């Protein structure tokens, strides 16, 4: 994660008069305005079409202060006005909402065998999503990043209007990320070590943006599940991402648990068979060696055409699903073994961490009909705290788009939490 640019414009002071709201001890007036701008936008982001008067009532700011802050948000294009407002207070037609036609967040995903890009507006709606297959293990990091940036530029040229400025970039990568946006290591992308992803993407894109955030793809997919999925996942769940690698995004209290050093969720390297096959990580019998995409295809005897990938209609997982549907015994046996191994690893996770809900994502969503029984059976037998209540097992509906939507969504959420990062800069 990179620090945003500091805003050079002098801050104006909107004093809290008459109805003070205690906001801690602000260091200076700029901090107070930033806090109040976020307060107002948060109220609008609830999506109930609040009027200025209603926002003033809820936030306990004066109407004058609210109007000035709303003007800033309007002129930055972050919100729009119009349509009937809730309740009876205020003039009709002055309801405020997030602007679906305004600034957008750009998401980029680099995965082992595909690259994806997405544009999301401030309501969280996907303006455009694209996934392109290609084995990234054979290419240099710079080449893969260049290809993803080129895809993003094409998408911007095709999808964006003048008013839809890109305010930030989120990048999903299949590995361990430092707080400075550096990919430290990607177990399934040999040679990707200490790659300055944020810096490289920013300089290649040559487009001024306010923030660039980089995170693990399983983490971002879990956030997308929390923000954009239809199913009620709740605030405490783990989303498993089945790809070439297997990762887990851990959401606790509605927030990602990234670990003490940002290294959490390496479910693919949980041991399911201590004497099992050697793993690229240095261990033995890691979950990935039994239930990762390549192990699964190999065990099922499924062919894997070069250059095809997950999420692509005729990709290898589609072939696997077709075989399972026609009852191919080798495929069904491989899926049962993978499901049992996944269930064992998830039981260990639940025993240690205690989360009540698991969401199957990535390829595990595609093959859920053939692995769910095994996953559930192992969880029931081994997750000691959930013998009675049971662990809730859900299947992701986001498909291969989860991580790239989460990447773009992370940027949007960050700006909704702190609109001062962009508001003055965007003001027309």
Q: Give the binding site for its own copies (CB under 8 A).
A: 22, 24-25, 176, 187, 236, 248, 250, 252, 257-267, 269-274, 281-284, 286, 340-341, 344-345, 347-349, 351-356, 381-382, 384-387, 389
Q: Count of residues for the chain?
A: 428
Q: Tell me if residue 339 falls in helix, strand or coil.
A: helix
Q: Which is nearer to its own copies, 10 or 24 (CB)?
A: 24
Q: Which is nearer to its own copies, 45 or 272 (CB)?
A: 272
Q: Which is nearer to its own copies, 130 or 382 (CB)?
A: 382
| Smallest separation, CB 388 to its own copies (Å) | 9
| Smallest separation, CB 416 to its own copies (Å) | 24
| Smallest separation, CB 283 to its own copies (Å) | 4
| Smallest separation, CB 371 to its own copies (Å) | 16
Residue whose structure tokens are 């107070």: 32
The two structure tokens encoding residue 242: 């089945």
Q: Which is nearer to its own copies, 116 or 290 (CB)?
A: 290
CB atoms within 10 A of CB 50: 28
CB burial of 226-257 (b: ≥16 within 10 Å; e: otherwise) equals: bbbbeeebeebbbbbbbbbbbbbbbbeeeebb
Q: Which is nearer to its own copies, 154 or 351 (CB)?
A: 351
Q: Give the phi and the psi of residue 8 in degrees, each rounded to 5.
A: -80, -20
What does the alpha-carbon distance between residue 203 and residue 425 come to, in Å, rounded to a whole number?
20
Angle at alpha carbon of residue 178, lines to 268 and 220, rounded to 5°: 55
Q: Which is nearer to its own copies, 56 or 209 (CB)?
A: 56
What does the alpha-carbon distance between residue 368 and residue 372 come to, in Å, rounded to a whole number?
5
Rounded to 10 degrees, the C-alpha dihedral 127/227/410/207 comes to: 10
| Smallest separation, CB 118 to its own copies (Å) | 27
Q: Which is nearer to its own copies, 320 or 338 (CB)?
A: 338
| Smallest separation, CB 22 to its own copies (Å) | 5
DSSP annotation of 180 reads T
| Smallest separation, CB 206 to its own copies (Å) | 33
Under a CB-based contact definition with an 8 Å cutoff, are residues 244 and 188 in contact?
yes
Q: Which is nearer to its own copies, 143 or 333 (CB)?
A: 333
Burial class (CB in 10 A: 0-12, 13-18, 19+), 313: exposed
Q: Which is nearer to its own copies, 137 or 258 (CB)?
A: 258
Tell me, rounded to whole angstroms, the distance of Cα 247 from its chain centroid.
Answer: 13
Rounded to 10 degrees, the C-alpha dihedral 406/407/413/414 comes to: 150
């Amino acid at each position: 994660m990179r620090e945003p640019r500091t805003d050079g414009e002098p801050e104006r002071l909107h004093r809290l008069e008459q109805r003070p709201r205690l906001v801690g001890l602000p260091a200076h007036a700029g901090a107070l305005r930033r806090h109040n701008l976020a307060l107002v936008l948060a109220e609008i982001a609830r999506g109930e079409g609040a009027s200025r008067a209603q926002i003033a009532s809820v936030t306990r700011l004066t109407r004058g202060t609210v109007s000035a802050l709303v003007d800033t948000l309007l002129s930055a294009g972050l919100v729009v006005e119009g349509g009937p407002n809730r309740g009876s207070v205020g003039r009709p037609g002055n309801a405020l909402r997030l602007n679906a036609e305004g600034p957008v967040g750009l998401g980029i995903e680099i995965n082992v065998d595909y690259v994806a890009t997405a544009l999301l507006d401030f309501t969280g709606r996907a303006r455009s999503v694209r996934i392109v297959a290609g084995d990234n293990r054979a290419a240099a990091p710079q080449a893969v990043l260049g290809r993803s940036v080129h895809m993003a530029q094409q998408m911007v040229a095709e999808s964006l209007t003048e008013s839809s400025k890109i305010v930030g970039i989120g990048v999903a990568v299949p590995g361990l990320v430092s707080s400075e946006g550096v990919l430290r290591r990607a177990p399934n992308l040999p040679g990707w070590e200490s790659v300055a992803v944020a810096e490289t993407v920013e300089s290649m894109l040559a487009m001024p943006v306010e923030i660039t955030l980089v995170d693990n793809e399983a983490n971002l997919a879990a956030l997308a599940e929390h923000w954009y999925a239809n199913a009620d996942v709740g605030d405490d769940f783990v989303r498993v991402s089945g790809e070439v690698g297997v990762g887990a995004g851990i959401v606790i209290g509605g927030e990602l648990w990234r670990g003490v050093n940002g290294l959490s969720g390496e479910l693919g390297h949980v041991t399911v068979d201590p004497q099992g096959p050697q793993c690229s990580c240095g261990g033995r019998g890691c979950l990935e060696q039994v239930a990762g995409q390549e192990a699964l295809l190999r065990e099922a005897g499924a062919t894997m055409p070069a250059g095809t990938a997950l999420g692509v209609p005729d990709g290898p997982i589609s072939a696997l699903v077709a075989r399972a549907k026609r009852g191919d015994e080798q495929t069904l046996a491989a899926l049962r073994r993978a499901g049992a191994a996944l269930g064992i690893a998830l039981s260990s996770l639940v025993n240690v961490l205690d989360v009540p809900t698991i969401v199957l994502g990535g390829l595990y969503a595609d093959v859920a009909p053939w692995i769910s029984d095994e996953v559930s059976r192992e969880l029931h037998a081994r997750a000691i705290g959930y013998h009675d209540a049971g662990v809730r097992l859900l299947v992701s509906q986001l498909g291969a788009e989860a991580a790239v939507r989460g990447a773009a969504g992370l940027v949007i959420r960050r700006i909704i939490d702190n609109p001062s990062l962009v508001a003055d800069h965007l003001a027309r």
